[in-house]
Amino acid sequence: MKSKIARAAAAVLFTLGATAVSATSASAAKNGCGGASWYALTSKTASGERMNASLLTAAHKSLRFGTKVKVTNNRNGKSVVVRINDRGPFIRGRVLDLSKAAASHIGMVRSGHAKVCYQIVG
């Protein structure tokens, strides 16, 4: 039979463990990896602003407009911070569509696409 202290300690550890799992799940939602491509249209974005290929912006399927995201090219390790201002990409396996300027910063303009990882920074 467990003592009251042992049961209380187990309850505290269980509670702390649940909190740690929640924190891990929350941070996982702020990070991701997958394919990225770039685009340089002049139409309006889903946020309502005009697309400007010379700004450091990107499209993501669900992140809030205005979210700053650090994007790292897995092949060369180069990174850039972009602002989410559009929705997309609409191609399976891709997680971001970058502006041409952002793609240039991480060295993927020539190939048109790259494997990247991203992390919300602010």
What CATH number did the domain enclosing 53 receive? 2.40.40.10
Residue 61: domain span: 31-120
Q: Is residue 8 part of a domain?
A: no
Q: What is the pLDDT of residue 29?
A: 54
Distance CA 23, CA 37 (A): 30
- In this prediction, residues 100-117 reach a mean pLDDT of 96
Structural domain total, the chain: 1
Q: Is residue 60 part of a domain?
A: yes
Q: What is the pLDDT of residue 52?
A: 93
Q: Is residue 104 part of a domain?
A: yes
Percent of the chain, pLDDT > 70? 76
Q: Is residue 24 part of a domain?
A: no
Taking the model in full, what pTM does it have?
0.74
Q: What is the pLDDT of residue 122?
A: 74
Mean pLDDT of the chain: 82
